[in-house]
């Protein structure tokens, strides 16, 4: 799956603070968070590198998408993945253009993608 992404040289904890701030600056809130590494450790005893998924949502985009097609609810919230990699923390955001194909949602998906690209730009400047 294609993602809108970047890698920062900061730790996952530091990057998470930057990402949350960048999302907020672009009208997104974090509705959910899942510490995948901690869950796998607790449930399966598996050790893995840090991996966290933030469920981000822009209420305006969500409302508009749901008005066009209620099945878009299957895609909400938008996943923002933070993963520790060799050179820092990778930030990957699900690309709405990939998730919402078709004519009816094309303009909205493009607009949302531009906003998420702006989130990445804010992150990279931090």
Local mean pLDDT, 10-residue blocks, the chain (126 residues): 95 98 97 97 96 97 95 94 97 94 92 97 95
Task: Tell me the domain boundaries of the chain.
Answer: 3-125
What integer pLDDT is reported at residue 101 of this predicted model?
80
Q: Which of 66, 72, 71, 56 is nearest to 115 (CA)?
A: 56
- Return the CATH architecture of domain 3-125: 2-Layer Sandwich (3.30)
Q: How far apart are CA 44 and CA 38, in angstroms?
A: 10
**Whole-model pTM?**
0.93
What integer pLDDT is reported at residue 91 of this predicted model?
98
What integer pLDDT is reported at residue 17 of this predicted model?
98
């Amino acid at each position: 799956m294609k993602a809108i992404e970047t890698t920062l040289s900061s730790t996952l904890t530091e990057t998470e603070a930057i990402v949350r701030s960048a999302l907020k600056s672009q009208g997104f809130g974090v509705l959910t968070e899942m510490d995948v590494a901690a869950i796998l450790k607790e449930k399966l005893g598996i050790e893995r590198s840090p991996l966290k998924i933030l469920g981000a949502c822009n209420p305006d985009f969500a409302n508009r998408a749901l008005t066009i097609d209620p099945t878009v609810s299957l895609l909400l919230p938008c996943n923002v993945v933070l993963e520790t990699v060799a050179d820092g923390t990778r930030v990957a955001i699900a690309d709405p253009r990939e998730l919402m194909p078709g004519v009816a949602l094309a303009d909205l998906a493009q607009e949302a993608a531009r906003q998420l690209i702006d989130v990445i730009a804010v992150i990279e400047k931090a």
